[in-house]
Amino acid sequence: MGPIDTPLPDDCGQPGVQQNLTYMQGWIVGCIVNTTVELGDSKLDSHPILAVTATSGTLSPYGFYSGHIGLAGDNVPLNKGPTTISALYQSGQVPSGEVGLFLPRFDNTTQAEMTFGDPATSPHADTSKAVALQSVDDPPFKYGYVVEFDSFKIGGQEIAAKNRTFLNTASTGISFPASLTEAIYRSLGWSRSDTDLGKAPCSPTIPDPYIVISFGGDQGQEFVVQYQDLVSRKADGSGECWAMVTPSKGVFAETWIMGSPLFHNVYHSVDTQSGTVKMFGMRQ
């Protein structure tokens, strides 16, 4: 997927035509355009996507891009139509509306993979450790995949239980309700003075500061998120690390959002037609 060369509508920017989206990392503005989208050997002609014309400073490093290409639910409020994955399935170009995602760590030479069909056939999915969940409608993420987790523990201490979380493949971290900031940072051994600046120790300062998240009820599974996925080394050579576990903000202030740190440790799939989410342990 690369840049697109599609003219914007003449009235782009006018009320009712301009689209505004707010993410944890910032906001984007754009207009719906119809363009050709290619994914491998598959192709959609005149497919509606969001062509982004402006972003906030926190998102601008990612460039100008199209939103809602992949794993969102159908009938997103932007264009009230199928997402790209659903459109490919409905047109018979892919064998299933179920799509699995393997997300390696950033320093791994292995490439990320998206596969269609039964996720249990993936070489990355540990089928002995599997759970199936049903996504629920839960504003403000009504059009994504929201599931319930049973417990969220750090080093054996339960921090939260029976909460809903948005599973966001576009998020580079884990965001938690702001009211839990002190409890989570204390359990991780992180200093509030550092984390307020977005920083965290690159190596653990206390024993066993890993996260364990349980899904699926009494017959469910626990998935461990390693400490190495809770921080990200700065690219400036300073030897410092960014915290990848941060409190949610603004309208999302009491919201759980789980992104890359979870998906580096869990193979997961979503069924774009039924809303079923499956999670598997990650094969090493």
For the chain, the domain total comes to 2
Q: Is residue 137 part of a domain?
A: yes
Q: Nearest-CA neighbor of 49 among 74, 72, 78?
A: 78
Residue 126 in contact with residue 281, Cβ under 8 Å?
A: yes
* Residue where a domain stops, chosen among 90, 123, 139: 90
**How far is residue 52 CA from its own chain's centroid?**
19
Which are the contacts of 22, defined by CB distance < 8 A and separation ≥ 6?
A: 250, 251
**Co-location of 76 and 104 in the same domain:** no
**Co-location of 146 and 70 in the same domain:** no
**Co-location of 103 and 210 in the same domain:** yes
**Co-location of 108 and 218 in the same domain:** yes
**Co-location of 247 and 109 in the same domain:** yes
d(CA 19, CA 124): 37
Q: Is residue 31 part of a domain?
A: yes
Confidence at 130, pLDDT banded by 50, 70, 90: very high
**Co-location of 263 and 199 in the same domain:** yes
Confidence at 96, pLDDT banded by 50, 70, 90: confident
Residue 270 class from Cβ within 10 Å (0-12 exposed, 13-18 middle, 19+ buried)? Answer: buried
Asked if pLDDT for residue 46 goes beyond 90, the answer is no
Confidence at 82, pLDDT banded by 50, 70, 90: confident
Q: Is residue 224 part of a domain?
A: yes
**Co-location of 42 and 178 in the same domain:** no
Asked if pLDDT for residue 83 goes beyond 60, the answer is yes
Q: Nearest-CA neighbor of 152 among 204, 207, 221, 214?
A: 214
Confidence at 280, pLDDT banded by 50, 70, 90: very high
Mean pLDDT highest for which of 59-68, 153-162, 187-196, 241-250?
A: 153-162
Neighbours of 161 (CB within 10 A): 11
Q: Is residue 12 part of a domain?
A: no
Joined tokens for residue 266: 């869990």
Confidence at 25, pLDDT banded by 50, 70, 90: low
Q: State the pLDDT at residue 140.
A: 54
d(CA 202, CA 243): 9
Q: Is residue 2 part of a domain?
A: no
* Residue where a domain stops, chosen among 45, 69, 90: 90
Q: Nearest-CA neighbor of 177 among 188, 191, 190, 163?
A: 163
**Co-location of 170 and 78 in the same domain:** no
**Co-location of 170 and 66 in the same domain:** no
The chain-wide mean pLDDT, for the chain, equals 84
d(CA 34, CA 283): 39
pLDDT tens for each residue of 149-184: 999 999 999 999 999 999 988 788 999 999 999 999
d(CA 258, CA 215): 13
d(CA 263, CA 245): 14
**Co-location of 26 and 82 in the same domain:** yes
CATH number of the domain within which 249 lies: 2.40.70.10
**Co-location of 52 and 111 in the same domain:** no
Confidence at 67, pLDDT banded by 50, 70, 90: very low
* Residue where a domain stops, chosen among 41, 58, 90: 90
Q: Nearest-CA neighbor of 100 among 84, 120, 126, 129?
A: 120
- Domain enclosing residue 57, as ranges: 19-90
pTM: 0.82
**Co-location of 188 and 129 in the same domain:** yes
Q: Is residue 13 part of a domain?
A: no
Asked if pLDDT for residue 62 goes beyond 50, the answer is no
d(CA 199, CA 244): 9
Asked if pLDDT for residue 212 goes beyond 60, the answer is yes
Instruction: Identify any residues that bridge with 199 across adjacent strands, giving them in sequence order.
Output: 242
Residue 125 in contact with residue 283, Cβ under 8 Å?
A: yes
